[in-house]
Amino acid sequence: MPQRRTASPHPGATPSQQQQQAAPAQAMPHGSPTRVYLNTNVTPHLLEGMKLLAANEPEKPLKWLADFLAAKSKEVEGT
């Protein structure tokens, strides 16, 4: 049977080396500059709005999402 690869540190690693190999709190931005920009500035807010949209199921979903994003823009960007 083939041996499984794991994310655990090598057997001789010291505790400080094991801590250094822990997963980061956030993923490193990668991809094209456009993708990085959208993933940093737009996607988190759009996903938040879409989750609320699915939970609320308003009669006019696009209008509701537009209003949500406009309010989020004022909150985040202060405009």
Report the CATH number that the domain containing residue 35 is assigned in CATH: 1.20.890.10
CA distances from residue 28 to 34, 36, 39, 55 in whole angstroms, order as listed: 15, 10, 11, 30
The span from the CA of 16 to the CA of 42, in Å, is 37
Report the pLDDT value the prediction gives residue 78, as an integer from 0 to 100: 87
Domain that holds residue 60: 30-77
Share of the chain above pLDDT 70, in %: 63
Average pLDDT over residues 5-27: 62
pLDDT for 26 equals 62
Above 80 in pLDDT, residue 79? no
Query: Does 11 reside within a domain?
Result: no
* Confidence category of residue 66, pLDDT binned at 50, 70, 90: very high
Of 50, 52, 41, nearest to 76 by C-alpha is: 41
pLDDT of residue 46: 97
